[in-house]
Structure 1
Amino acid sequence: MKTVYSLIIACTLMLAACSDNKQVELYNTKAALPASAKYNLGGLKVITSFVNKTKGTASTLYGNDLALKAAIEGNKIIAGNEIFTLVTWKQQDDDHWFGAKIPSDVESVEVIKTASSGNNVAINYQQLNGKPLDLKTDTSGQAERIKYILGQKPSVLP
């Protein structure tokens, strides 16, 4: 009988020693966007979201009502007063779900604003990088990024 009690106590101690005391956050505060006057997501709606597994990033494209309407209708003609904002996060493992990935630190925020004057439409592109959202001054590759962002198809919602 003493052997059975000793065995039960030993098993209980072994199971207690196997616990993981790592604190797990309930909310993903790491992915929060810093407050900045350089961009404004207020009033913007989600157009689409996607993941780039090779780069380990997750992105969400937001737009104002005009941009969302143009994306849904498949307009290839750029109109004035459209605002597109592409937010890209690095990914991290999810502590709550084995094998899942969730957004981590902000990698970039890309903002496209259009303005019309007569028959001409001007496109203003800005890229803000990192957590402090520093403005990228290098203008190479802007045309490709604009074409890529404006070419995104909207998510289909029921």
Structure 2
Amino acid sequence: MKNTILILLVSLVSLTACSKENSDMNNGLSRVVFDPGPLKFISNSLSPKKETMSALYGNEKALESLTKEIQTPEAGSVMKLVTWKYHDNPQYIGGTITGELVSIETVQADHSGKVSYDIKNNLPQNSSPNKEERIQYFMSYRPVNRP
């Protein structure tokens, strides 16, 4: 009889413990995963004032350009700077996670060395950034050291 009661009690506890829904799971936030395709991760940055985090992806030519610390990307370079809003991680106190995608900026140097800049975001067109400044910002990144 004691075993039967113990089994019923354990079953009841395990079933009720699993039934609670986590109602604040998303808090209305949508997370977007960026697929860099053939590009490799180069570096990242964090802007606490804007509450954004960015990741820089690029091909081998872009990595070489940034490693050499030159002012313009080498011919054939492709770089993408992906920026997300960040939010507190509901599962870990003090942690942050990426949230809404803010922008994807692309700097590309064709085979003749002509550099182009493009941005995809939700900002109004009249607030588009200075292309030369943004290219210089890309070139200011330093690749992370990998062991």
Bin of the TM-score, shorter chain as denominator length = 0.7 to 0.9
Whether 1:31 aligns to 2:32 is yes
Deviation of the 1:105 alpha carbon: 0.6
User: Is residue 2:58 matched to residue 1:63?
Assistant: yes
Amino acid at match of 1:72: T
Distance in 1 (CA, whole Å) between partners of 2:119 and 2:109 is 15
Change (3 A) 1:62 1:139: same
Counterpart position of 2:141: 152
Deviations 1:58-77 (A, max 9, x none): 00000011111222233445
Match of 1:96 in 2: 91
The 3-state SS of whatever aligns with 2:31 is helix
Q: Secondary structure at the match of 1:98?
A: coil
Q: Deviations over 1:77-135 (max 9, x none)?
A: 53211001000000111011111111101000000110143xxx2111000004xxx89
> CA RMSD, aligned part only?
2.7
Say whether 1:124 aligns with 2:116.
Answer: yes
85-94 or 67-76, larger mean C-alpha shift: 67-76
Report the TM-score, using the length of structure 2 for normalisation. Answer: 0.73
Unaligned runs of 5+ in 1: 1-15, 34-39
Contact 2:72–2:139 under 8 Å retained in 1: no
The separation in 2 between residues aligned to 1:156 and 1:42, in whole angstroms, is 21
Counterpart residue identity of residue 97, structure 2: I
> What are structure 2's unaligned runs of at least 5 residues?
1-15
Give the TM-score taking structure 1 as reference length: 0.68
C-alpha change, 1:92 and 1:45, in structure 2 (3 Å) is same
